[in-house]
Amino acid sequence: MKFIAYNVRDDEIPFIEKWGKDHQIEVAYTTTTLTPETIEEAKGYDGISGLQTIAYTKELFIAFRKLGIKYLALRNVGVDNLDLQAAADNGVKITNVPAYSPESIAEFAVTMALFLSRKVGYMQQQLRQKQEFHFSPDFMGRLISEQTVGIVGTGRIGQHAIRLFKGLGAKVIAYDKYPIKDTHGEFHYTTSFQDLVRQSDIISLHMPATPDNYHEFNHETFELMKNTALFINTARGSIVDTADLIFALQSGEIAGAGIDTIENESADLQDSRSTKQVTDADVIKLSMMPNVLITPHSAFHTTRSVMNMVNISMDHLKAMVEGKPVSDIVD
Q: For 13-65, write each residue's pLDDT tens digit.
A: 999 999 999 999 999 999 999 999 999 999 999 999 999 988 999 999 999 99
Question: Alpha-carbon distance 102 to 256, whole Å?
Answer: 24
**Known active-site residue 26:** no
Residues 296/259, Cβ–Cβ less than 8 Å:
no
Mean pLDDT value across residues 74-95? 95
Q: Which of 75, 160, 206, 297 is catalytic?
A: 297
Q: What share of the chain is helix, strand, coil (3-state, %, to 5)?
A: 40, 15, 40
Reported pTM: 0.85
Question: Alpha-carbon distance 208 to 142, whole Å?
Answer: 29
Using H for helix, E for strand and C for coil, what is the string for 206-226?
Answer: CCCCCHHHCCCECHHHHHHCC
Question: Alpha-carbon distance 67 to 44, whole Å?
Answer: 8
Q: How far is CA 139 from CA 16, 118, 148, 241, 294, in A?
A: 45, 7, 21, 28, 19
pLDDT at 83: 97
- For residue 294, what are the β-bridge partners? 259
Average pLDDT, the chain: 94
**Known active-site residue 236:** yes
Question: Alpha-carbon distance 273 to 39, whole Å?
Answer: 20
Give the model confidence (pLDDT) of 221-233 as tens digits.
Answer: 999 999 999 999 9
Q: Which of 160, 216, 265, 316 is catalytic?
A: 265
Q: Where are the alpha helices (DSSP H) in 133-232?
A: 156-167, 193-199, 219-224
pLDDT at 186: 87
Give the CA dihedral 183, 190, 258, 95, nearest 10 degrees: 50
149 in helix, strand or coil? strand
> What confidence tier does 274 reach under pLDDT thresholds 50, 70, 90?
low
Q: Which of 216, 236, 253, 316 is catalytic?
A: 236
Give the model confidence (pLDDT) of 151-169 as tens digits.
Answer: 999 999 999 999 999 999 9
Domain ranges of the chain: 2-100+302-330, 102-294
Question: Alpha-carbon distance 84 to 62, whole Å?
Answer: 12
CATH number of the structural domain 2-100+302-330? 3.40.50.720
49 in helix, strand or coil? strand
* Fold: same for 2-100+302-330 and 102-294: yes
Positive or negative: CA dihedral 96, 102, 107, 113: positive
CATH number of the structural domain 102-294? 3.40.50.720
Report the chain's terminal Cα–Cα distance, integer Å. 25
**Known active-site residue 107:** no
